Structures are given as structure tokens and as C-alpha cells.
Amino acid sequence: MLKNTFFKKSIKRGTKYVMLTAYDALTSRVLEAAGVDFILVGDSVGMVLLGYPNTSCVTMDEMIHHAKAVRRGAPKSCVVGDLPKKGVEKGPKQALLSAKRFRDEAKINVVKIEWGKDCLRSTESIVRQKIAVQGHVGLTPQAVKNATGFRLQGKTAVTALKIFKQAKAFESAGASLLLLECIPWQLAKLIQENVSIPTIGIGAGPYCDGQVLVFQDLIGMFDQFKPKFVRRYAETSAEVKKAVVGYARDVRQNRFPGLGESFSLDAVEFEKLRLAVKRGQTR
């Protein structure tokens, strides 16, 4: 087993970890100020911000662009960069180069890699370069081909055991964290109890060492669908729409801007300008 354990289990730490996604400096600045433990630059940016039908469309260049923005907004935070499918699909060598780009160009602290072909060899290669890795098991969006694929994983003893073994394999490969997505809470609890590294859950119940949500889900901004595991702490989408409607109404009715929101020219200077225009001194 490769040793790359930088983070303590919640029981040893004394409190659970808080992780949220961010894709820009404005959001990451808010998360850092709020004391979030991990900021995840997820490839979910593809669906949430970029308008892609799935996460598999996201390129490594796009991930670097967003990760650099997040780092600028949160210079002191532990930032996790999600290795996109296009950044790992050619094998461990490509995965390592992508991880190094995250570290060197975006100054991230951890890279996340989903379970899939060559993920263990890629993890081992990345860990040898002193880059921390978060393994991702359960629902792995990069493997989802259409909307129907976003569903609970590990519903039988056979499939649950498969996910359990994947989690243990990531630990043996040197991962420092695990992300458990959309699996039964009993399975998540069993994994949490049998690995030495922290588990972060999303749709995996309350027994993980921490939790993560997509920020836009948390604040009710992304309203195309709402997963069962999301708890909305605000309904920002409705408030934003209300604000835009109000702004459009005021502009159309010439109620915005008012003189109170406008700049003024000094009366003496304006009189000079008015006389110049009147005398035809405009050329």
C-alpha cells in the first residue's frame, strides 16, 4: 500500500469535513471566507456553467482555466482539481501530465480521479510525484452516457461489494481521500469503517467523514433537476429572475437609471460646453 495520507479521519479530527464546488473566483472567495475545508473544481462545470450535456465534454484546458480562477479567489484554501475524462482517457502518462498541470499551472492541492480504466495505475503514478489524490467511486459521471445513468449505485450485495473493493483499491494505490457518490448509506458506512483515509459523501448518507455538494445546487441556482440528496439552503434562481425582471421593467419604463445613479458635470463647465456647441465649435 502506497502511503499518501495527508488528511485525518473525522473521528480523529474531531469534526467533519465540508467540501463545496466552485468554478470561479467570486464563488471561491465566498467559500474561503465561510471556512469551507475543501473547494472542488469539479468537471460538473460542464453541465452547470458551460452548457454541455454531460461532464465528458470538458477539456483539460477548460479545467485549468476554472481552477486558476478558483485559486485566485481562494489563495489559502485546499483546492481539489477534478481530472476530466479528456485528461485521463489516454492512460496513466496523460493522467500524470494532467495532474502536474493542475499543480503547476493552477496551484491546486489535490487531484480527483474517477474509478475507471487505468485509474489505479494513474493514482500510483500521481502519488509518486507527491501529488495527493482523491479517488471517486459509486456513481461516476464520466461513465454516464445519458440522463438515465444518474441513479443509485450498489443496490445489490454483488454490486455493493464491487464498489467496496474499488474504495479499498484506491486506498492501496495511495489515495488520500475518497469521494463516495450516490450509494446506499449502509455501504458508505461500511467503507468509512474499513478505510484509513477520509470519505467525502454526496448522496451517500450521514456516516462519511465529510460531505460535498455542487454550490449551485446548494443555493438553488441550478434548477434543471434536483437530486434526492440535495438540500437547498436558498432559492437563488427565483430571486435572480425577479431581479432581472425588475431591472428590465425599469429600463423599459425609463425608471433606471435616475439622476441619483448618474454622473454630473460641473455647472460652470457645462455652460462652457453648451456655448461651444451653440457657436458651432464642434469640429
Q: What are the DSSP calls for 69-94, one per residue?
A: HHHHH-TTSEEEEE--GGGTTT-HHH
Q: DSSP class of residue 49?
A: T
Closest Cα to residue 99, out of 71, 66, 64, 69?
64
Could you count the other beta carbons within 10 Å of the beta carbon of residue 184? Answer: 18
Q: Is 235 a catalytic residue?
A: no
Catalytically annotated residue among 181, 235, 261, 271: 181
> In the Cβ-directed half-sphere of 1, how many Cα atoms lie within 13 Å?
13
- Mark out the alpha helices in 108-184 (DSSP H runs): 119-128, 157-173
**Could you check whether the bond before residue 84 is cis, i.e. omega within 30 degrees of 0?**
no
Retrieve residue 14's grid coordinates.
474531531
End-to-end Cα, the chain, rounded Å:
80
Active site residues: 181
